[in-house]
């Protein structure tokens, strides 16, 4: 009987220190969700390619959008991307409903969804890394 009580006491002590409530671990943030690290190659370039941006801006007005260096250098209107400052970046301003000059991009639409623009903003605000 003493062994059974000792065993029960050990189990109670172990269970008292257990913080697992039997729930599943928290889900990891998917790569497309706000707050996750953005990659130019994995997240931004596919958006620009899919939207036709890399075809139109493969040197038009000096702007190339298929590389980070091209976005940072920009074209005749200046840099397309200001690292850490998405709202000041021309690429974001030109995709908004009220671009600072000319037509909204991509020209003639379909325009980028707010969630898609947010992916680009996240990347820029995270420093516009060449990753």
Segment 106-120 shows an average pLDDT of 94
Contact (Cβ atoms closer than 8 angstroms) between residue 96 and residue 86: no
Q: Is 78 helix (H, G, I), strand (E, B) or coil?
A: strand
Taking the C-alpha atoms of residue 96 and residue 88, their distance in angstroms, rounded to an integer, is 12
Read off the pTM.
0.72
**pLDDT mean across residues, the chain:** 79
Segment 108-130 shows an average pLDDT of 96
How confident is residue 97, by pLDDT bands cut at 50, 70 and 90?
A: very high
Torsion of CA 38, 40, 46, 49, to 10 degrees: 140
Contact (Cβ atoms closer than 8 angstroms) between residue 72 and residue 79: yes
Q: Report the sign of the C-alpha dihedral through residues 58, 60, 65, 71, in that order.
A: positive
Q: What is the pLDDT of residue 4?
A: 40
Query: Euclidean distance between the first and final Cα of the chain, in Å?
Result: 65
Residue 3 has pLDDT above 90, yes or no: no
Over residues 28-55, the pLDDT tens digits come to 333 344 458 999 999 999 999 999 998 8
Residue 19 has pLDDT above 60, yes or no: no
């Amino acid at each position: 009987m003493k062994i059974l009580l000792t065993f029960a006491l050990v189990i109670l002590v172990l269970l008292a220190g257990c913080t697992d409530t039997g729930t599943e671990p928290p889900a990891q943030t998917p790569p497309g969700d706000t707050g996750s690290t953005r990659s130019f190659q994995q997240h931004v370039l596919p958006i620009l390619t899919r939207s036709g941006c890399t075809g139109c801006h493969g040197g038009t007005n000096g702007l190339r959008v298929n590389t980070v260096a091209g976005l940072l250098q920009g074209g005749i209107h200046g840099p397309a991307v200001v690292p850490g400052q998405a709202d000041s970046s021309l690429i974001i301003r030109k995709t908004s409903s009220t671009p600072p000059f000319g037509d909204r991009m991509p020209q003639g639409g379909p325009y980028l969804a707010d969630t898609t623009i947010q992916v680009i903003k996240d990347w820029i605000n995270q420093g516009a890394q060449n990753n």
